[in-house]
Amino acid sequence: MSDIEIEPYTDPAGGWGSAKSLVEILTREEVPISGSAMLLKQNKPGGFMCVSCAWPKPAKPATFEYCENGAKATAWEQTRKRIGPEFFAKHTVAELLTWTDFDLETQGRLTHPLRYDPASDRYAPVSWEEAFAEIGRELRGFDPKSVVYYSSGRASLETSYMYGLFARLYGNNNLPDSSNMCHEPTSIGLKASIGVPVGTTVLEDFETTDCILFFGQNVGSNAPRMLHPLQDARRRNVPIITFNPLRERGLERFTNPQSPVEMLTKSSTQISTQYLQVKAGGDIAAITGMCKALFAADRAAQAQGRPRVLDVAFIAEHTHGFDAFTAFCDGQDWSVLETRSGLTRAALEDAASVYARAKRVIGIYGMGLTQHRKGTETVQMLVNLMLLRGNIGRAGAGLCPVRGHSNVQGQRTVGISEKPEQVPLDKLAEMYAFTPPREKGLNTIEACEGIVAGTVKAFIGLGGNFVRAIPDTERMEQAWRGMRLTVQIATKLNRSHLVNGTVAYLLPCLGRIEIDAQASGPQAVSMEDSTSCFHGSVGVTKPVSDHVRSEPWIVAGIAKATLDPNPKIDWDAWVGDYAKVREAIQATYPEVFKDFNARLFEPGGNHKPLAARERKWETETGKANFVVPEGLDEDPDMPARHADVLDLITLRSNDQFNTTVYGYHDRFRGVKGTRSVLFMNAADIARLDLADGATVDVVTESTDQHVRAVRGLRIVKYNIPEGNCAGYYPELNVLIPLWHHDEQAKTPAAKAIPVRVARTG
């Protein structure tokens, strides 16, 4: 770790800072810059799909269709560094548990299958045959309901289909996914509101939109390629109204690092035309304010005989619940809306009038809306706003939830779901001649509750870093060790591999960028992007070691060792030729995956049909539903709170991918050399008698008896609303109570955690 430097960053997102940061990581991971020819194949038909975010891959890609953080993810996976048996012989698990997330992953790629040896407290090499035999023997001994099959959102459609099928053949729907911690409020909220569980926009919609609303997504760090369509939209003078408690650099200014002219002239584009620093959890109030302003403008227009502001024809033909929603908005008091949102009436009226002038509006959002106690309602509130002017189901308009992992949406599409009703179980029963379990499975929070209660006894992880990503780290780590079996399929070492069950395996797999050679030759895999387009992906580099295996091969290996043979499933044939898995996927979902193999490399991807795009509403009412929120309160069960309690936002730096910490430089926020910081508003610092740069402890304000604390954070005075503070995930996950989740989707409410801050000591 280098010395700590904290100073505000004034350059735009992208630009020279991005180019420099990229060279740094390629050098550190010993990926030759010339070898970055690899990067030229990123996100191109016939090349590999980025392992970072899920932003769509354009049909006409740029020469360099990657961003700083996508290239970092590539370098991180394709590092020359390796950790083999010698490393594990040298370090006990107890010792490794004292290392940081960065130190663990930066050791390099896992090269051998490993089994935990309790006697020496070390991981030791084991053959694949022995590993599968013991895992199979163990799995056969459990009640199927007590086993959890987690996926982290990166594995391909092919692997995911096999994995989901395996869990059901085994006898449960316990298929939690990182999506449970991420966009589950989208899956639930949008399905109930408009009949599809995903966004309704595609990349082309950005070319014709004339207004963008941007809620709670940090584009500069977490989906930087999206800055290109945003920059194009700004060049057409499209207003972008941003709602975010923090002034994020990428939402302010952007220099395209791939434009020589912009780089040489140091020119940049202003991204947001209005920047509304809403309070954490204040979006329901903010959107209610905008709706209220629209209703008022509509009534004024009617009174004066001008054209209506609301799209009354759309509302009448296509929606349900309009009157109740009108009554809800009419019943809200402006002063309460101002307090709850932290925004002025004038600012909200202004935003509403820009929205009302636009014919085609896109609503973009990320974790700032979903990771709340009322996450699902907040997403539905954005839908309500869009419905008022018919902004769903036509070109240039719609909803754009920015998904996280590169195939998280796709995993749901092919059956990774704890909700049996989302899976064509009858079809699976017919195809594979078995009786699929019908009982609802465990989602992430329920799996955690089961682990605490001792009812979950085994955990299989297809990627990810579950123990680090979930809330209540300390409690969960303790409970975790009570499990009998933990199996982790992974590329790099992380903390979840060290907090292990009695019998523990760590199985190294190929990354997507590597050549995956099977019986029929090199294989392609596929994924679904944020805009519901499927893309093929082909590995281009030599595998990191002769002992690593592909994810489909590993899943098949565990399945064969665990299940009785099924004459309808030839796991080996699937592994030998992934095109056969795609045929099975197509047979299971004929409409979604029509001509799947033939269309695998279609430029821009193969878009799946979405009823809402055609204004067909597959909801209970057969209409698009206005959904009235229960109230404006972010946290329904906190008792009247003391003025000293702040709402803590946990978020990502520009130098990480989720729990993968690439380094200690959050360039855009001006923090270098440390992640132990707490961003605070100057007025709060003064009121609580603290000081910029002071060291503080943060303690969760909770209604239960557990003490949750993080000690020794350094205060960074920051432009953030009074009453809010912010710091980094996953280090602060210890502060989130397990029960602090969205009421409907059970997504951990990582964006507004009530805490107290006090000087250390």
Binder of Mo ion out of 157, 182, 388, 738 (CB under 5 A): 182
238: left (phi over 0), alpha (psi -120 to 50) or beta: beta
Residues 90-109 that bind ligand MGD (CB under 6 A): 105
Which of 42, 473, 494, 562 is close enough to bind ligand MGD by CB under 6 A?
494
Q: What is the DSSP-derived secondary structure letter of residue 148? A: E
What element of type H or E holds 375? Answer: helix 375-388
- Verify binding: residue 543, Mo ion, rule CB under 5 A: no
- Nearer Cβ to Mo ion (408/612): 408
Whether the CB-CB separation of 57 and 87 falls below 8 Å is answered with no
For 727, phi then psi, to 5°, come to -160, -175
In the complex, minimum distance from the CB of residue 183 to Mo ion, in angstroms, rounded to a whole number: 7
Per CB under 6 A, 180 contacts ligand MGD: no
Q: CB of 472 within 8 A of CB of 736?
A: yes
Q: Which of 318, 405, 582, 607 binds ligand MGD (CB under 6 A)?
A: 405
Asked if residue 292 lies in contact with residue 385, where contact means CB atoms within 8 angstroms, the answer is: no
The nearest distance, CB 195 to ligand MGD, in angstroms, is 23
Residue span 504-533 as binding mask against ligand MGD, x where in contact by CB under 6 A, dash where not: -----x-xx---------------------
Provide Rg for the chain, Cα atoms: 25
Our finding on whether 218 is near ligand MGD (CB under 6 A) is yes
Determine the residue with CB nearest Mo ion: 404
Please check whether residue 650 is in contact with residue 675, taking contact to mean a CB–CB distance below 8 angstroms. no
Q: Give, as ranges, the residues between 226 and 255 that touch ligand MGD (CB under 6 A).
A: 243-246, 248
Give the integer Cα–Cα distance in Å for 381 and 369.
10
The answer to whether 278 contacts ligand MGD (rule: CB under 6 A) is yes
Q: State which of residues 390, 404, 450, 471 lies at the interface with Mo ion (CB under 5 A).
A: 404
φ, ψ at 68 (rounded to 5°): -50, -50
Least Å from the CB of residue 369 to ligand MGD: 6
283 binds ligand MGD (CB under 6 A): yes
| Residues 489/462, Cβ–Cβ less than 8 Å | yes
Residue 153 within binding range of ligand MGD, rule CB under 6 A: yes
Among residues 74, 186, 187, 465, which is the contact residue for ligand MGD, using CB under 6 A?
A: 465
Q: In the complex, what is the shortest distance from the CB of residue 184 to Mo ion, in angstroms, rounded to a whole number?
A: 10
Q: What is the C-alpha separation between 81 and 545, in angstroms, rounded? A: 11
Choose the stretch contacting Mo ion; rule: CB under 5 A; options: 46-54, 132-140, 176-184, 745-753.
176-184
| φ/ψ (deg, to 5) at 726 | -150, 155
Considering only residues 21, 174, 326, 491, which one is a binding residue for ligand MGD as defined by CB under 6 A? 491
Q: Of 70 and 604, which has the nearer Cβ to ligand MGD?
A: 70
Going by C-alpha positions, the residue among 589, 570, 590 that lies closest to residue 580 is 570
And the tokens for 462? 């297809």
Report the relative pairing of strands 677-680 and 724-728 from DSSP bridges.
antiparallel
Residue 368 binds Mo ion (CB under 5 A): no
CB atoms within 10 A of CB 609: 12
Residues 703-742: b if buried by 16+ CB within 10 A, e if exposed: eeeeebebeebbbbbbebbebbbbbbbbbbbbbbbbbbbb
Q: Determine, following the binding rule CB under 6 A, whether residue 352 of this chain makes contact with ligand MGD.
A: no
Q: What residues from 629 to 688 belong to the interface with ligand MGD (CB under 6 A)?
A: 649-652, 656-660
Whether the Cβ atoms of residue 235 and residue 228 lie closer than 8 Å to each other: no
Q: Closest Cα partner for 406 from 28, 112, 77, 668?
A: 77
Asked if 173 touches ligand MGD (CB under 6 A), the answer is no
Estimate to the nearest angstrom the gap between the alpha carbon of 431 and the chain centroid: 32
Q: How far is the CB of 182 from Mo ion (least distance, A)?
A: 3
Q: Give dist(CA 131, CA 137) in Å, integer.
A: 10
Q: What does 126 interact with, of ligand MGD, Mo ion, none (CB < 5 to 8 A by kind)? A: none
How many positions of this chain bind ligand MGD (CB under 6 A)?
62
| CB nearer ligand MGD, residue 6 or residue 67 | 67
**Interacting stretch for ligand MGD, rule CB under 6 A, among 24-32, 81-89, 462-470, 597-605?**
462-470
> Facing residues of 276 across strands?
243
Which one, 154 or 535, has the nearer CB to ligand MGD? 154
- The smaller minimum CB distance to ligand MGD, of residues 318 and 740, is found at 740
Instruction: Tell me how far, at minimum, the Cβ of 430 lies from Mo ion, in Å.
Output: 34
Residues 540-559 that bind ligand MGD (CB under 6 A): 551
The secondary structure of 107-143, three-state, reads CCEECCCEEEECCCCEEEECCHHHHHHHHHHHHHHCC
Give the x/- contact pattern for ligand MGD in 414-453, rule: CB under 6 A: ----------------------------------------
- Which two three-digit tokens encode residue 703? 């209604």
Q: Which stretch binds ligand MGD (CB under 6 A): 152-160, 189-197, 348-356, 612-620?
A: 152-160
CB of 712 to ligand MGD, least distance (A): 18
- 366 lines the binding site for Mo ion (CB under 5 A): no
**From CA 599, how far away is CA 628, in angstroms rounded?**
41
> What number of other Cβ atoms are within 10 A of residue 23's Cβ?
12
Q: Contact residues for ligand MGD (CB under 6 A)?
A: 52-53, 69, 105, 152-154, 178, 181-182, 215-218, 221-223, 243-246, 248, 278, 280-281, 283, 366-368, 371, 404-405, 462-466, 469, 489-492, 494, 509, 511-512, 551, 649-652, 656-660, 729-730, 733, 736, 750-751
Q: Contact residues for Mo ion (CB under 5 A)?
A: 182, 404
